[in-house]
Structure 1
Amino acid sequence: MPNQQDIDADVVIVGAGLSGMIAARKLLEARLTPVVLEADDRVGGRILTEEVMPGLPVELGAQWIGDTHERMFALAAELGVETYPQFDDGETSYDLVGSGVLRESEFHSRFAGELAELERVLRRLDELATEVPVETPWLAPQAAEWDAITAGAWYDAQGLSPVARTLLEICTVGILAVPTAEVSFLHLLFTIQTCGVTSELFAESEGGAQTTRFVGGTSEIPRRLAALIADRIVLNAPVQLIEHSADTVTVSCRGGLVARGRRVIVAISPTLAGRIMYDPPLSGIRDQLTQRLPNGSSMKAFFIYDEPFWRADGFNGQLISDVGPARMSNDTCLPRDDHGVILMFLEGDQARTFGRLPLAERRAALTAELVRHYGSKAAKPEFYVDGEWSDRQWTRGCYNANLGPHVWTSYGAALSAPIGVIHWASTDTATYWSAYLEGAVDAGERAAQAIIDELAG
C-alpha cells in the first residue's frame, strides 16, 4: 500500500503477525476491506526465519507444528508450503541432578522409578485439565484454589524425586518460557486443556507439538499470506492511539499516518496492546489485565557444522540437562543439505541470565555444553547465531503471555472479550493450542468472524 497519510477501510488491524494476516484474509473473503498496520519492517511477528548461510535458513522464531494442528496443515497446503518431519532417530543425551552425561537407554534404566513418578503426575495433570473450560477457565470448579497457587508449588507438593521434579520443570519451562514459580496452576491446566493432553505438549515424536517443519522455513507462511494482501499492509507504522466511538475507529501511527474504519482488531500480544493509548480509555479491568500479562523469556542458539556428526554416534541431537546453559537442544538439520545444525534452547531464567552476557561468553558456555554431550567435534562449528526475543522492540518476549496467580480469576474475562468496536487477536487469546501457531490462526479467525457477523447484521 502506498505510504499515504490517511487510509479508509472497513477494519483496521494492528499487527502483521500470523493472527493479523489470517484475520485480514478472512475479512477479504467476506468482501470487507482491511488494512494491516505493522510496527516492524517485516511481517510475521514471532515468526522469523533468517538465511545465515547460502541456502540454509534457521528459525529464530516459531518453528514447528504438531500432528493435531489441522489449521496449520491446511494453511500450508493452501499456500503451497511443503512440510517435512522433524528428525527424531537415535538417543537423547541426559545430564540431570548430578547424574553425569548419560545416553537415553542408560538414563531410562537407571531412573526407571523416577520416570514412573513423572508419568503418574502427567496423567494427573491430564485429569485435572479436563475440568477447565477453555472459554471460561475462571469458572472451573476449583478455579479459585488452582489460581491461588503456582504450577511450581503444585509440582513441589507431589513428592517427586529430584530427577522427576527437575524433568517436569524443564519440560514445562520449555513450553511456557518462564519458571513454574511464576505461573498460576490454573494457567498451566488451561494450557494443557487447549492442547489436548500433556503427551501432545511434551512429546516430539508422533502426537507431539513439534513433529513437523516447513520447507524453506516458517516465514514462508506469513510471506505468502502477505503476498495475497500486499496492497493492504503498511510496514513501519507503530500504532500510538486508537480513538473509538460506537461505530467508528481512528488509528493513529507514529509518523502521522491515520487509518479509519468501522472496527479494529488489535492482533499483538496483550502486554504490547496495553502500551497503546485509547480514547476514551479502556476499562480499569482491561488495563489491570495487561499489566499482569508478561511475555515469556526465550532465546534460540544455532550451531552449524559441516555434518551432523552426532547421528553417526547414535544420538538424535536432543539433550536434556540442568547443568546448562541450555536445558534442551534439537537436531534442526535441513533435508537435502549436508550441514549439521543443532538448536539450543535458553528459556526462562536461562534466557534472562545468559541473554545478557556478551555473545562470545554465551557462545563459549554453550559450546562447552555441547562438547560434554557430543564430544570434541562439537567444539568447532562453521557458524553460530542466536537471538533473544525480549530485546526485539516490537515483540518484547516469547513464546506467549503467561498468567500468574489470581489473574485468571480476577481479570481473565477481559482477555479476549471485545470492547465496543475493538477486538483482540493473538495466540495468547486462543482457546485451541494457545501459544502456538495453531492458536494464532484460531485467534485471527475468531476475531474476524465476530466482526463479519456484526457488520452483516
Structure 2
Amino acid sequence: MSKEKRDVIVIGAGISGLSAARLLQDQGQNVLVLEARNRVGGRTYTLKDPAFQYLDVGGTYVGPGQNRIIRVAKELGIQYQMVNEARRTISFRNGKAEAFDMKNSVPKSLGIFDLMDLNNAVRLIDAYAKEIPVAAPWDAPRASEWDSMTVQSWLDATCWCQYTKEAITIICRASNASEPCNLSFLFFLWGITVGGGLTRTMSITNGAQERKFVGGAMQISEGLAGKLGKGHVLLNHVVSSVEQSDDGVKVTTQNGDVFEASYMISAVPMTLLGRITFKPRLPSAKIQLIQCMPMGSVIKTFTFYKRNFWKDLDYSGIVFSCDGPISGTYEDCKPDGSHPAIMGFMNGEKARKYSSLTKEERKKVVCEYYAKAFGTDEALHPINYVELNWMDEEFSGGCYMVSLPAGVLTQFGRVMREPLGRVYFAGTETADQWMGYMDGAIQAGERAGREILHQKGLISKDEIWQEEPESLDIPAKPFDDSIVERLLPSVPGFLKLVVTATTLVAAGAIAFFL
C-alpha cells in the first residue's frame, strides 16, 4: 500500500466525508478517505437480502428543497420511489386508534380548544424559527432565553392542551430522536429553520419525507466512493490519533498504519471525537461541546407481511402515537408492491426503554401494537422482522444526529465547525441547511473541502459557502396557510375574547337598564 503524503485525509466514508473528498479530488487534490467500518455510508445503511431485496435501516428520505442530495442522486443515476400517504392515517392515543384523512381533516376526537392550541403552538414555533440565523443560531435575538429552556418547559409555559404537548413530543422524536425534556428549545428551532419550516420538515408530499431511493440510500456513498477510484477509500481503518505539525497532519489507525497529509477533514459524528487522541489536544470548548452532545436514540424496525392488509382496510400504513411503542410508521414496499412491510421508529425514551428487550420481545411488542392500531390480528403474524438499534452502533452511537440539551448551543456552538489548525470539520451536524439530513451532510462536506481550497489559496473566502440552485426536477413549492389557520385564535386569546365580549354585553345591559 502506498503511503505517500496526501493533500487531504478525510476521516469517515459517509455522505459528508465522501462529498468533501470528491470536491477536493475534482479540484486536483490527492485525497484519502479512512473509514472505521467495513462499508461506506455512515448513517445510511442498506441491507441486501433475497428475502426483501434491499432495506434502508439508516437514513432514507429525500424531498423538495434538498437540492444537493437531489443533484448528487441525479449525477449517479439513482431513481426515486414516492412515499405512500394515500388512504387514511391512524392516530393512536390513549390505547385507541382513530383513522382520518391527513390531507383534508383532523381526528374527530379533537375539540376546538385542541385545534386552537395546536395551531397556535405550530405558528409560534414557525415564527420563532424564522428569527434564527441559520449559520449562527447563538446570535438570535432571544438565543439566551430560548437556550435556557427545554422544549418541554416551553410547552408547559405556552400550551393549554395535552394533545398539543403530545403532538410536539412526536415531532421531537421524529426530528431529533429525543424527548422534549432533553432538547434545547433553541436547538429545536434551529433544526426547524434549516429545514425550511415545520410544515416542510414534517410533511410527506412537498416535504422532507416525500420520496426515497430505489435500491437504497447507501448507493449515494457507494457511487461517490466509486468516483474517487481504487486506493482512495480504505475500510476497516479506525483512527486512534491525529498529530499536527507546522507542515502537515499525521493520522494513525488502530492497526498501526500511519498516513500523512497536508490537511485533514473529520466527517465522523462529533461525539466520537473523544475517542481520538489529538496532538495538540482539542480546545477545551470543543471538548466540552463533545461531552454535551449525545446522539439521538432510535431503533428502526421493519415488519414484513404476506400482503399489505392495511390497504384493504383503506389505510396508508402511517400511524403516529405519543404513548405507543412506535412513534411513527410508513408503508415500506418495493416500487412494484412486493415485500410489503411497515417501517416503524422507536424513538427517544421509547428506544431506550425497549432496547433492554430481546429482538424477539421487541418484535412481539411491535406486532401487538400494530394489531391494535390497524384493528386486525393479521398484524400479529409477520413473515419477517428486521431491526437496527442505532444506539448499539459502535461508530455512530445513535441516530439520526446529535441532540443538544439546554445551554449547550449558546456556550459552545461557535466551535462546532471551527477549524483546529490543519484539521477541518464536516458532518451533517455542522450544516446550516438541512442539518441532520443527507442534504446537510453534502453541504457540510463540500463546505469543509472549500475551506481547505481557500486555505491553499485556490479559491476566495467568499466561495467557501455556496448556495445550491433550486432543483428544476423536484422544486419546492410554497405551503399556504388556510384562512382558518391564520385567523384561529389561541386558547388564551379565545378566552380573552369571550371575557371581553361578556364584559361588553354586561356593560351594555347595565347601561340599558339604567
Shift of 1:177: 0.4
User: 2:212 is matched with which residue?
Assistant: 213
Structure 2 vs 1, CA of residues 51 and 159 (structure 1 numbering), >3 Å: closer, same or farther?
A: same
Q: Is the 8 A contact 2:121 2:159 kept in 1?
A: no
Q: Is the 8 A contact 1:324 1:366 kept in 2?
A: no
Shift of 1:124: 0.8
Shift of 1:193: 1.2
Render the CA deviation track for 1:33-69: whole Å, top value 9, x for unaligned.
1100001100000000112434521111001011111
Render the CA deviation track for 1:136-167: whole Å, top value 9, x for unaligned.
11111111111111111101212231122111
Q: 1: distance between equivalents of 2:52 and 2:383?
A: 15
User: 1:426 is matched with which residue?
Assistant: 427
Structure 1 residue identity aligned to 2:226: A
SS at match of 2:62: coil
Render the CA deviation track for 1:178-220: whole Å, top value 9, x for unaligned.
101111111011111111110011112x221110110111111
2:24 aligned to 12, 27, 32, which one? 27
The runs of 5 or more residues in structure 2 that have no matched partner are 459-514
Shift of 1:338: 2.5
Percent identity of equivalent pairs: 31
User: 1:272 is matched with which residue?
Assistant: 272
Q: 2: distance between equivalents of 1:25 and 1:260?
A: 19
Q: 2: distance between equivalents of 1:172 and 1:448?
A: 32
Shift of 1:310: 0.4
Shift of 1:108: 2.0
The reply on whether 1:174 has 2:174 as its aligned counterpart is yes
Q: Is the 8 A contact 2:173 2:327 kept in 1?
A: no
Render the CA deviation track for 1:87-138: whole Å, top value 9, x for unaligned.
110111112145x111125962221522342122111111111111121111
Q: 2: distance between equivalents of 1:63 and 1:322?
A: 22
The reply on whether 1:18 has 2:15 as its aligned counterpart is yes
Q: Is the 8 A contact 1:108 1:115 kept in 2?
A: no
User: 1:443 is matched with which residue?
Assistant: 444
User: What is the RMSD of the two structures over their aligned residues, measured on CA atoms?
Assistant: 1.4
User: 2:99 is matched with which residue?
Assistant: 103
Structure 2 vs 1, CA of residues 200 and 240 (structure 1 numbering), >3 Å: closer, same or farther?
A: same
Q: 1: distance between equivalents of 2:17 and 2:268?
A: 8
User: 2:115 is matched with which residue?
Assistant: 115
Task: Report how many aligned residue pairs link the two structures.
Answer: 452
SS at match of 1:224: helix
Structure 1 residue identity aligned to 2:17: G
Q: 1: distance between equivalents of 2:397 and 2:280?
A: 26
Structure 1 residue identity aligned to 2:344: M
User: 1:286 is matched with which residue?
Assistant: 286
Render the CA deviation track for 1:338-381: whole Å, top value 9, x for unaligned.
33110011011111111221111111111100111221111111
SS at match of 2:108: helix
TM-score of the two chains, using structure 1 as the length reference: 0.96
Q: Is the 8 A contact 1:94 1:107 kept in 2?
A: no
Alignment of 1:201-280 (within 5 A): 201-204=201-204, 206-231=205-230, 232-280=232-280
Q: 1: distance between equivalents of 2:150 and 2:52?
A: 44
Structure 2 vs 1, CA of residues 40 and 126 (structure 1 numbering), >3 Å: closer, same or farther?
A: same
Structure 2 residue identity aligned to 1:115: L
Q: Is the 8 A contact 1:59 1:217 kept in 2?
A: yes
SS at match of 1:102: strand
Shift of 1:305: 1.2
1:83 aligned to 80, 83, 87, which one? 80
Q: 1: distance between equivalents of 2:240 and 2:91?
A: 48
Render the CA deviation track for 1:377-400: whole Å, top value 9, x for unaligned.
111111101110111111111010
The reply on whether 1:66 has 2:63 as its aligned counterpart is yes
Q: Is the 8 A contact 1:7 1:258 kept in 2?
A: no
Q: 1: distance between equivalents of 2:147 and 2:347?
A: 23
Q: 1: distance between equivalents of 2:153 and 2:246?
A: 45
Alignment of 1:325-336 (within 5 A): 325-336=325-336
Structure 1 residue identity aligned to 2:98: L
Q: Is the 8 A contact 2:417 2:424 kept in 1?
A: yes
User: 1:455 is matched with which residue?
Assistant: 456
Structure 2 residue identity aligned to 1:59: D
* More displaced 10-residue stretch of structure 1: 42-51 or 152-161: 152-161
Q: Is the 8 A contact 2:44 2:218 kept in 1?
A: yes
User: 1:147 is matched with which residue?
Assistant: 147
Q: Is the 8 A contact 1:13 1:266 kept in 2?
A: yes
SS at match of 1:439: helix
Structure 1 residue identity aligned to 2:92: D
Q: 2: distance between equivalents of 1:247 and 1:290?
A: 27
Render the CA deviation track for 1:247-296: whole Å, top value 9, x for unaligned.
31000001111111111000011111232110111111111111111111
Q: Is the 8 A contact 1:10 1:261 kept in 2?
A: yes
User: 1:51 is matched with which residue?
Assistant: 48
Q: Is the 8 A contact 2:243 2:279 kept in 1?
A: yes
Render the CA deviation track for 1:318-347: whole Å, top value 9, x for unaligned.
111234211211111111143311001101
TM-score of the two chains, using structure 2 as the length reference: 0.86
Larger CA Rg, structure 1 vs 2 = 2
